[in-house]
Structure 1
Amino acid sequence: MRNRATLADVARRAGLSKTAASMVLNGREGTRLSVEAHQRVFAAAEELGYRPNVAARSLRTRKTATIAFVSDIVATTRFAGGLIRGALDAARERDHVLLITETQGDAEFERYAIEAMLDRQVDGVIYAAMATRRLTVPPAILGGPVVLLNATSPDNLPCVLPDDELAGRAVTEALLKQGHRQRIALIGRNRLKERDPEVSLAAEARLLGIRHALSAADATLYAEPFCREWLPEHGYTAMRTLLARSVPPTAVICMNDRLAFGAYQAIADAGLTVPTDISVVSFDDDPIATWLRPGLFTAALPHERMGQRAVEILLDGESTERCMVPMPLHRRKSIAAPADST
């Protein structure tokens, strides 16, 4: 295997001192070297395949160009993988490497993983959660730069969150613009999710946005069935209950796409269609949203952009306590005007 090119090799090829070559490669100003000398150094570095010695540089700068990404179950979850993709893209753009570990909720392993990363002198830590919630940050990482991703903490650390409240307004306003007013139902009320921030921050925020949009239009929710979990079977049961009413809803807002999937099935089993008989809107943009027929109108979790923002805030040292990232609407064909509208 060919020996790795050194700074001395580059300097020798360029016909300059090692100090001069170093100053050129590190972008130091005031070297008083000619443009032609700069070009010789860069050409020599390219010809030799020279790469800076990161370990040596870190001793001088006390920076290792590495970021720790610690999560609960993000890495092995296809739905939230965008958090990592976004962070990887932003780190690469800034010549940083991401060290990723997943704890699976194991406190002992988390301590070990964090200690191992800190031993590598990372420049900062992104502490991420799969579900948007409040969490307790391990004390070991509080001594350096930390950004929470998809989470908050009692420590008032900088954090990056999806703007669920704004999304709640947006999906509701989409129905209102179609003419739905008096018979909009909400599937997915859940006291635990709405009241315990360590379980969910999304439920309360989405509900608040929905209510604000309805209030501004002088409208109210027609019905609000509770669901023990936000899973397809619970959406199915809730939709069946709504359809059993003497006057069924003209539109339903589901608190996530899995509930919407169940609602679709109940509507089809009743011999009705989306959106001709009932419009459906939702949140998250789970992969199933594009497979439903018609495609589901939903507010997408902006995971990639959130991951990017976390890296940017970490490396730029932004002092913002909370960064809210908008949830873009995917305007698919599951909404229409009420069938009885005139």
Structure 2
Amino acid sequence: MMVRMRDIADRLGISVSTVSLALNHKDKGRVNPPLAEKIRVTANRMGYRPNPHAVGLKLNKSHAIALICYTGPDDPFLSGLTGGAQAAAAEAGYILITIPVTDAPGAEESAIQTALQRDVDGIVFAADYYRRRDIPTVPDTTPFLFLDCISTGSNPVVTEVIADEAQGSFDATSHLISAGHTHVGYVGVDDDRYIARHLREKGFRDAVREHLGDEATPLIINAADPSISAGEAVAASLFSRPVAERPTALFCFSDRTAFGVAQAARRHGLSLPEDLSIVGFDNVEYTSEFFTPRLTTVELPHQRMSSEAVRQLVHLIENPRCEPHRLKVPCPLIHRDSVNPHHS
């Protein structure tokens, strides 16, 4: 049963107004300090929790936030995205309202109106993949930020929470090189819709330069897109090269790309990871967990990103004058079985 201020007042034999002053920290000069402290200790022992709705009415806040996300039920990242946001919202005392949206004309405007009709205190706009996007039409009085997307300008005009994809790629490539592979390659994608294609390639290049020296020539090939079939097609040409020209390890743009590369490798008689070590990116369960051998990969940390986005939004709601900034969340390397030591 919920503990009320009346219950605390009855326990101590004092008025409800005195309890209210102490619990709302308005007791200075109005309530005897030892009594005020006794009220707070008693409230804590009795399990008193402020009523979020009542607090919201006093502050003209609903204690609800909206997550407007461009994703569908088949999105492998959806559960992490919503789960992380939900947990962070609950921890901060907020209700999370999730509103899926498509790229259909007017869909985002409709989603914004739905959020505003529910009097949300702020909005998180989450993209379906890391990309640039326009600033949405939101009232100046409603704080919002971007998750897994950035504004079209060179500097953030709203707060943005993104994954540090270059760092993740650097760590993946460094892991391959530390295992003794000096002939490493990167299988990227040739599609400029994906900002990640440049960041993941940059991380690969930086790791090769740092560990193998400026004279090392990075081996880079690009698939048409991140699909399994495109990865298989581009890798087939790679494995058709003479043995001396083949890489012994490959870092791949995505887990699906890695899956396609593995299929091509096996068709050319290569064993994984004995003949070829592979690292993916995303940590998508249906490819990384069921990959044989289990795929070493970089995790795209949607759960942590969405948690951080909610925390940043709550801070913005409570501190409206905060300057926009870009927050990068680390991408951890998940060690499994697809990397073998290489001995020259």
TM range (shorter): 0.7 to 0.9
Alignment of 1:164-313 (within 5 A): 164-181=165-182, 183-190=183-190, 192-193=191-192, 199-216=193-210, 217-218=212-213, 219-222=216-219, 224-247=220-243, 248-287=246-285, 288-313=287-312
State TM-score, norm by structure 1: 0.85
Q: 2:27 matched to 1:26? A: no
Distance in 1 (alpha carbons) for counterparts of 2:302 and 2:178: 28
Cα–Cα, structure 1 residues 141 and 215, in superposed 2: closer, same or farther, change >3 Å?
farther
Q: Given that residues 69 and 126 in structure 1 are in contact (C-alpha distance below 8 angstroms), is that contact kept between their aligned partners in structure 2? A: yes
Aligned to 2:159: 158
Aligned to 2:339: 335
Q: Given that residues 279 and 339 in structure 2 are in contact (C-alpha distance below 8 angstroms), is that contact kept between their aligned partners in structure 1? A: yes
Amino acid corresponding to residue 220 of structure 1 in structure 2: T
Aligned to 2:319: none
Q: Given that residues 171 and 299 in structure 1 are in contact (C-alpha distance below 8 angstroms), is that contact kept between their aligned partners in structure 2? A: yes
Amino acid corresponding to residue 322 of structure 1 in structure 2: R
Given candidates 137, 140, 150, the residue that maps to 2:138 is 140
Report sequence identity in percent. Answer: 29
Distance in 2 (alpha carbons) for counterparts of 1:264 and 1:53: 53
Q: Given that residues 162 and 302 in structure 1 are in contact (C-alpha distance below 8 angstroms), is that contact kept between their aligned partners in structure 2? A: yes
Gaps of 5+ in 2: 317-321
Amino acid corresponding to residue 79 of structure 1 in structure 2: F
Aligned to 1:322: 326
State TM-score, norm by structure 2: 0.85
> SS of the counterpart of 1:126?
strand
Cα–Cα, structure 1 residues 333 and 37, in superposed 2: closer, same or farther, change >3 Å?
closer
Amino acid corresponding to residue 203 of structure 1 in structure 2: R
Distance in 2 (alpha carbons) for counterparts of 1:83 and 1:53: 25
Cα–Cα, structure 1 residues 157 and 11, in superposed 2: closer, same or farther, change >3 Å?
same
Q: Given that residues 299 and 332 in structure 2 are in contact (C-alpha distance below 8 angstroms), is that contact kept between their aligned partners in structure 1? A: yes
Q: CA deviation at 1:26?
A: 3.4
Q: Given that residues 80 and 130 in structure 1 are in contact (C-alpha distance below 8 angstroms), is that contact kept between their aligned partners in structure 2? A: no
Q: Given that residues 165 and 207 in structure 1 are in contact (C-alpha distance below 8 angstroms), is that contact kept between their aligned partners in structure 2? A: yes
Q: Given that residues 77 and 302 in structure 2 are in contact (C-alpha distance below 8 angstroms), is that contact kept between their aligned partners in structure 1? A: no
Distance in 2 (alpha carbons) for counterparts of 1:63 and 1:298: 42
Aligned to 2:84: 86
Amino acid corresponding to residue 134 of structure 2 in structure 1: T
Q: Given that residues 239 and 266 in structure 1 are in contact (C-alpha distance below 8 angstroms), is that contact kept between their aligned partners in structure 2? A: yes
Q: 2:70 matched to 1:72? A: yes
Kindly tell me the number of residue pairs found equivalent between the two proteins: 326
Kindly report the root-mean-square deviation, in angstroms, between the aligned alpha carbons of the 2 structures. 2.6
Distance in 2 (alpha carbons) for counterparts of 1:41 and 1:296: 52
> Which stretch has the larger CA shift, 226-235 or 314-323?
314-323
Aligned to 1:196: none
Distance in 1 (alpha carbons) for counterparts of 2:87 and 2:308: 11
Q: Given that residues 189 and 226 in structure 2 are in contact (C-alpha distance below 8 angstroms), is that contact kept between their aligned partners in structure 1? A: no
Given candidates 94, 104, 115, the residue that maps to 1:106 is 104
Distance in 2 (alpha carbons) for counterparts of 1:255 and 1:303: 17
Gaps of 5+ in 1: 194-198
Q: Given that residues 56 and 62 in structure 2 are in contact (C-alpha distance below 8 angstroms), is that contact kept between their aligned partners in structure 1? A: yes
Cα–Cα, structure 1 residues 64 and 264, in superposed 2: closer, same or farther, change >3 Å?
same
